[in-house]
Amino acid sequence: MAFLALAALLAATHASACQCFNFSRAEIVQRADIVFEGTVAAVTVARGQVQATIDVQRLEKGPDLTSITLLTPASAAACGVSFRVPQRVIVAARRDGRVWRTDLCMALALRPLPFVPSR
């Protein structure tokens, strides 16, 4: 009987998973308010959100910032990005009032641009 109760409980719960549309890099850049490459300087977690401070090394789009603090969900199931110090990242983010937000859906198509040496 206990097994049936456990089976019913497990069947009643549903899995939550991150689901993203398959946007191209160009579409993500167009939708973003800022796109940059940088190094993660600090990461904190509070109230289900990850706050990551990133030192900006190369700006592709957006306001000229040397450092930015982003919010992302703390769970990958909620499409949160797993930032780690001193990880090098390429990020697309959107402005949400006074904060910047990003998620896995905005990061999926971002790849480093090829390095082209100057002549």
What CATH number should be reported for the domain whose range is 35-111?
A: 2.40.50.120
Is the pTM for the entire model greater than 0.95?
no
Domain spans of the chain, in order of start: 35-111
Q: What percent of the chain has pLDDT over 90?
A: 62
Reply yes or no on whether the pLDDT at 9 is more than 50. no
Reply yes or no on whether the pLDDT at 10 is more than 50. no
Residue with tokens 């939550």: 16
Instruction: Render pLDDT for 44-64 as a digit per residue (tens, 0 to 9).
Output: 999 999 999 999 999 999 999
